[in-house]
């Protein structure tokens, strides 16, 4: 039986270090912004989006949020998508989705990368 100690790994220094060690090579190998975004999104201490969202290729996704698909069509306006991820409470005051930008869960750069990744879904 898998034993998830926590759903959202607490971002201890050690975990963060591991996280960036894992991200750096991707960036170095001229990853596209979208690829970087995917890595950020799937890092449990960062986006951890699949805790709540299913999307093509998601591993053991949750179903708290809607499936992320056809995102380009759903969000023709990139700023709107960015705003949703930056602070989802703007659109829905009672949302469970964390305010990734407002609460500095992601940096501006990471957020931009995640936006690019979401648009590939």
Partner 1 sequence: MKKLLTAISVALFVGVTATPAIAGPAEDANAFREYFKKRFPDIPFDDYINGVYAVNAGAREQWMAIEEFPPYQIAIDEGKKLFGTPFKNGQTYGSCFSNNGVGVADEYPMFDSKRGEVVTLELAINECRVKNGEEPLPWSKGKIASILAYMAFTTRGKKIDIKVPDDKALAAYEDGKRFYYARRGQLNMSCAHCHVDNAGNNLRANTLSPALGHASHWPVYRSSWGDMGTLHRRFQGCNEQVRAKAFKPQGKEYRDLEYFLTYMSNGLTWNGPGARE
Q: Which residues bind partner 1 (CB under 8 A)?
A: 1-8, 10-11, 50-52, 60-64, 89, 94, 96, 98-99, 103-105
Q: Which is nearer to ligand HEC, 74 or 78 (CB)?
A: 74
Residue (26 or 58) nearer to partner 1, CB: 58
Which has the closest alpha carbon to 98: 49, 40, 59, 54?
Answer: 49
Give the residue with the Cβ less far from ligand HEC, 25 or 103: 103
Q: Which residues bind ligand HEC (CB under 6 A)?
A: 7, 41, 47-49, 51-53, 64-66, 68, 74, 81, 84-85, 88, 91-92, 95-98, 100, 114, 118
């Amino acid at each position: 039986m898998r034993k998830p100690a926590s759903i959202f790994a607490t971002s201890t220094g050690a975990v963060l270090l591991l996280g960036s060690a894992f991200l750096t090579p991707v960036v170095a190998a001229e990853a596209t912004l979208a690829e970087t975004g995917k890595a950020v999104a799937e890092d449990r201490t960062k986006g951890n989006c699949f805790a709540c969202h299913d999307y093509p290729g998601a591993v053991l996704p949750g179903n708290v949020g809607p499936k992320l698909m056809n995102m380009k069509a759903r969000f023709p306006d990139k700023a709107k998508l960015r705003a949703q991820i930056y602070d989802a409470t703007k659109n829905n005051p009672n949302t469970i989705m964390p305010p990734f930008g407002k609460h500095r869960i992601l940096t501006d750069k990471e957020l931009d990368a995640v936006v690019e990744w979401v648009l590939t879904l």
